[in-house]
Amino acid sequence: MHKALTRFAALLALLVLLAGSLAGLAAADDTGPGQGTGTVKNGDGSLKFGIGPAKHVPPKQVVDGRAYLVYFANPGATLFDRVALFNYGAKPLRVQVYATDAEPSEDGAFGLKPGGEAATDAGKWIKLQVPKSGYVTIPARTGSHPFGVLRIPFTVSIPLKASPGDHAGGVIVSVKSTSKNKKGAKITLDQRVGLRTYFTLTGKLKPGVAIEDLKASYKNQWDPLGRGLYTVSYTLHNTGNLRVKVRQDVTVKRCILPLICPSSSLVAHPATQPDLLPGTRVKITETFKNRFGLGRPSAKVTLHVTAVDPSYTKKIPDVTASTGFWALPWLLILIIVAVLLVVGLGTWRYLRHRRLVARERAIAKSAPPPRHAGPSNN
């Protein structure tokens, strides 16, 4: 139970990782270390601690301006780099620093494994020059500078058998604290900030994306006008070995007369996946509410894929998948059937009446004229 609460609290406290590409180098200022850093804030919004790349730091700066740690290397290569940790507090801050693997969230957003889970890929390759426990102390800020700095070198040892393509991880700075919830149970709050780390290894690069488990349905809403809920769901799967950006189109084609509904197609554009890591699966669901449906529509999904790395210039073909399904608005169908029955019954009665009248007229015409009695001879 304690472990579950710990993980839950850690996930709640997992802060948004550094995002966006930052160009150029920023001049040093009095508020922070500059570009290419990730930070954690206190409850009042003030900065608490952070991390940034710090290999070749320009004069008057404490970070080197890189947004992420990005490497292009061969399997078996050894790399050397350095990060800087920052403490914005007036007291020294004890933190734990470690490397781990990327673990995207359910919506495909970049994330890192929770603390305590062993790294098996890119995070395992990074060896920080810190004690085995990972705990270090960042100096407090001084009067001459708004933050204390601790620089940590590290070595990257890429296995010779590492697979080609993209691998992702991150370097995390963590501060843990404990408290009790309303029920008195002990919980651990894990405040973390991470610096993304990307490796692209040489070899055969195979970008690929698949549409899996495509389903489409129409839910009857008992609307007299035949309106219902269309739902299209599928799993977006990066089957290749490169990070890709994926734009998505979802189209539902309906068999509808133009007089009933001028636009027979329903079109949606789910959120673009800007950085889908290899092996990642993302569940996508798109709905169309209060839309007319009748017959057997079809749903089609189209993916427009490009590599995140601009140096990969080969065109990646679009990926498509489609499926058919039934749209049966039962209330409208019942109304139509009832109308047809009424019209049919009325037509039958009208035609029957006409036949009876015509028969009577025919009988009347074919009957011999009545004989009139002559005058009596008596």
Count of domains observed in the chain? 2
- In a domain, residue 219? The reply is yes
Based on the fold, state whether residues 168 and 267 are members of the same structural domain: no
Q: Can you read off the two tokens belonging to residue 186?
A: 């002990």
Based on the fold, state whether residues 241 and 193 are members of the same structural domain: no
Based on the fold, state whether residues 102 and 67 are members of the same structural domain: yes
**Can you give the pLDDT at residue 38?**
64
What residues contact residue 206 under an 8 Å CB cut-off, 6+ apart? 165, 240, 241, 242
| pLDDT tens by residue, the chain, 378 residues | 444 444 444 443 343 333 333 222 222 333 455 545 566 666 655 558 999 999 998 887 888 999 999 999 999 999 999 999 999 888 999 999 999 999 999 999 999 998 889 999 999 999 999 999 999 999 998 877 788 999 999 999 999 999 999 999 999 999 988 888 888 888 888 889 999 999 999 999 999 999 999 999 999 888 888 889 999 999 999 999 999 999 999 999 987 655 555 567 899 999 999 999 999 999 999 999 988 888 889 999 999 999 999 999 999 999 999 999 998 888 777 888 888 899 988 899 888 888 888 877 777 777 677 666 556 555
Based on the fold, state whether residues 88 and 235 are members of the same structural domain: no
Based on the fold, state whether residues 188 and 216 are members of the same structural domain: no
- In a domain, residue 356? The reply is no
Based on the fold, state whether residues 32 and 145 are members of the same structural domain: yes
**Can you give the pLDDT at residue 307?**
97
- In a domain, residue 309? The reply is yes
Structural domain span for residue 17:
2-201
pTM listed for this prediction: 0.76
76/95 Cα distance (integer angstroms)? 31
Task: Decide the pairing of beta strands 148-157 and 165-180.
Answer: unpaired
The CATH number that applies at residue 230 is 2.60.40.10
